[in-house]
Amino acid sequence: MDNIGINLREVDGRATPSIQGAATSVAGFIVRTKRGVPGKVRLVTNFSEFLEYFGGYVKKADAHDNYFGAYALKGFFDNGGAVAYVTRVFGTGVAATVTSTDGDEEEGPLTITAAYRGQTDPGAWGNKISVAVAYHAPVAPETVGSFDLTVSFEGRQVEVWDHLPASAAAADTVNDEFSGSKYIVIAFDATVNGGVLVAETLALKDGTQDAPDADALEDLCSAALPLYDTIDIQLLACPECSTADFALAGADYCALRGDCIFVSDAGDVDMAGAQAFTTNLRGNNIYGAVYWPYIRINDPIGTSRWIPATGHVLGVMARTERERGVWKAPAGVAARVQGALDVRHHISDPSHTILVKGSGVNAVRFISGQGIVIDSARTLSSSTLWQFINVRLLFNFVKSSLKSGLRWVVYEPNDEVLWNKVKHNAVTPFLMNLWRRGAFGPGSPDEVFSVQCDSANNPSDNVKLGILNVEVYFYPSRPAETFIITVGQQEGGPTASEG
């Protein structure tokens, strides 16, 4: 009911929802780590969150093979990465566990297993967990006792759970998926020894790390790709698996998505090995990129270590997007690799040209006066239309932005009013903003992009079928990859003349 006098109402009016830019540098990582629930993808926004969920660095001597996960994520965040989704690949191996005793070395009612928030977390890491148990007898007849658990990891107290009921209900608290323990799950069987506990400190044991061979590891990494089907990422890497077959599988997966690029490394090989790596990858592979060689970093649990550069590369891509835009090639003097001490192989400019143009491999190089930088930005495509990474990323960005920003169009009346809104009120302003920011090649707006949404591409037959077409074309910005400076002699100096 309106009031007497002036009444003010707010309505949406005729405004068309604007198209907001999609995310451009959210990374996905498939890694081997010290811990982490297998088969789950975890969002991390800083390295501390990664350490909490996936554990720290793994000594090479303690592992059957290289574990690059912690090093890759440290490189990602140190180089400007902000958001990552991480999954742990894990083969055969079990979680550490222990069962309480009844005071006479017989089994007691409490079983403790290494876990995170109610889900079993396998691996040798759990062998460093110990739990102190304190039991409180019932205070009244026909009631149950209670107990306290003090959880320690690597000799440091990390959690205390007190006054848990000596019944199966104790697991509801400790194993809760939101507020439960970050180190253990428990099972309590009150039928064993009457549910009575003894005061003791229990050390978890028999946790084993997986040790897959190369073929098994490739299968595990390939099986992890579909975990990202519903996750909005734009960059994807797996520093653990450096095989050409998996690089192709990763690029094919990203091509199927249409909104992501797979970043691989050529392995710990020399230049000839890097060239051989992409022999069967070149062609129409426009969603993949390969980097080489390994870089040397400080190792927090050792002295230094050689690792793939992919984690650092994804961080540089994220930094470049934030500072300059997704259309800026993530290469050159601005693409300095923070945390890199050296590169495994140093190559000359001619060798670099052969590597990039002949094999599509991007090099991480030491440049005198600049440090260690990413010095090329090529995809694996042999087409000149798609040979630069920034072009691929820009198209991914535009496609994702249009798909998200035009969802309001679905089920609107398919007529000229809608066509004009789509073209003039939504898509064209979005592209104009990109043009102003330098996303497109040289030229006026009319020269570098066009939008069609009218009767020409929406004939009556399509309208009857409920189909609406909008066509967007643009000329993307391309990097000045080859810079030619011409220096020569000319005639000069004083000349004599007759007076």
The CATH number assigned to the domain holding 276 equals 3.40.50.11780
Which residue is it, tokens 């975890």?
42
Whether 273 maps to a domain, the answer reads yes
Are 129 and 182 found together in one domain?
yes
Exposure string over 459-470, b if 16+ CB within 10 A, otherwise e: eeeeeeeeebeb
Residue 96 parent element (H or E): none
Are 105 and 78 found together in one domain?
no
Q: How confident is the model at residue 165 (pLDDT cuts 50, 70, 90)?
A: very high
Are 347 and 223 found together in one domain?
yes
Helix/strand/coil (H/E/C) assignment for every residue in 319-386: HHHHHCCCCCCCCCCCCECCCCCEECCCCCHHHHHHHHHHHCEEEEEEECCCEEEECCCECCECCCCC
Are 222 and 366 found together in one domain?
yes
Q: Give pLDDT, residue 369.
A: 92
Are 45 and 120 found together in one domain?
no
Are 376 and 253 found together in one domain?
yes
Q: Give pLDDT, residue 378.
A: 96
Q: How confident is the model at residue 23 (pLDDT cuts 50, 70, 90)?
A: confident
Are 45 and 144 found together in one domain?
no
Q: pLDDT (tens digit, 9 = 90+) per residue, 294-340?
A: 999 999 988 899 999 999 999 999 999 999 999 999 999 999 999 99
Which range is least confidently modeled, 20-29, 59-68, 450-459, 474-483? 59-68
Q: What is the DSSP letter of 421?
A: I
Residues 6+ apart with CB under 8 A from 137: 145, 196
Q: How confident is the model at residue 497 (pLDDT cuts 50, 70, 90)?
A: low
Are 314 and 422 found together in one domain?
no
Q: pLDDT (tens digit, 9 = 90+) per residue, 226-249?
A: 999 999 999 999 999 999 999 999
Are 356 and 226 found together in one domain?
yes
Helix axes 428-436, 389-405, angle to 10 degrees: 150
Q: How confident is the model at residue 494 (pLDDT cuts 50, 70, 90)?
A: low
From CA 75, how far away is CA 462, in angstroms rounded? 50
Is the model's pLDDT at 64 over the cut of 50?
Answer: no
Residues 6+ apart with CB under 8 A from 250: 225, 236, 238, 262, 264, 288
Q: Give pLDDT, residue 104.
A: 82
Which residue is it, tokens 């601005």?
334
Is the model's pLDDT at 32 over the cut of 60?
Answer: yes
Q: What is the DSSP letter of 82?
A: -
Looking up residue 148, the CATH number of its domain turns out to be: 2.60.40.4290
Are 356 and 424 found together in one domain?
no
Whether 162 maps to a domain, the answer reads yes
Q: pLDDT (tens digit, 9 = 90+) per residue, 1-22?
A: 677 877 676 655 566 788 888 8
Q: Give pLDDT, residue 148.
A: 97
SS3 107: strand
389 near 24, Cβ under 8 Å?
A: no
Is the model's pLDDT at 257 over the cut of 90?
Answer: yes
Is the model's pLDDT at 430 over the cut of 90?
Answer: yes
Average pLDDT over residues 174-185: 97
Q: What percent of the chain has pLDDT over 70?
A: 96
Beta strands in 154-294 (DSSP E): 156-165, 184-188, 200-203, 235-237, 261-265, 288-292
Are 260 and 341 found together in one domain?
yes
Q: Give pLDDT, residue 499.
A: 52
Q: Which of 210, 344, 186 is nearest to 268 (CA)?
A: 344
Whether 398 maps to a domain, the answer reads no
Helices (H) and strands (E) in the chain, counts: 14, 21
From CA 93, how far away is CA 114, in angstroms rounded? 13
* Number of separate domains in the chain: 3
The dihedral built from the CA positions of residue 277, 363, 309 and 62, taken in this order, carries a sign that is: positive
Please give the residue range of the domain that contains residue 267.
Answer: 27-90+213-389
Average pLDDT over residues 162-183: 96
Q: How confident is the model at residue 59 (pLDDT cuts 50, 70, 90)?
A: confident
DSSP 157-183: EEEEEEEEESSTTHHHHHT-TTTS-SS
Q: What is the DSSP letter of 264?
A: E
Q: Give pLDDT, residue 63.
A: 45
From CA 72, how far away is CA 311, in angstroms rounded? 4
Whether 419 maps to a domain, the answer reads yes
Q: Give pLDDT, residue 491.
A: 85
From CA 190, how far away is CA 108, in angstroms rounded? 9
Whether 146 maps to a domain, the answer reads yes
Q: pLDDT (tens digit, 9 = 90+) per residue, 266-282?
A: 999 999 999 999 999 99
Residue 304 pairs in a beta bridge with 298
Q: pLDDT (tens digit, 9 = 90+) per residue, 351-409?
A: 999 999 999 999 999 999 999 999 999 999 999 999 999 999 999 999 999 999 999 99
Whether 491 maps to a domain, the answer reads no
Q: Give pLDDT, residue 159.
A: 97
Task: Assess whether the previous peptide bond of 141 is cis (omega < 30° from 0).
Answer: no
Q: What pairing do the DSSP bridges indicate for beta strands 235-237 and 27-31?
A: parallel
Q: What is the pTM of this model?
A: 0.91
Whether 1 maps to a domain, the answer reads no
Q: Give pLDDT, residue 496.
A: 59
Whether 249 maps to a domain, the answer reads yes
Average pLDDT over residues 57-80: 83
What is the rounded average pLDDT for all residues in the chain? 93
Are 69 and 187 found together in one domain?
no
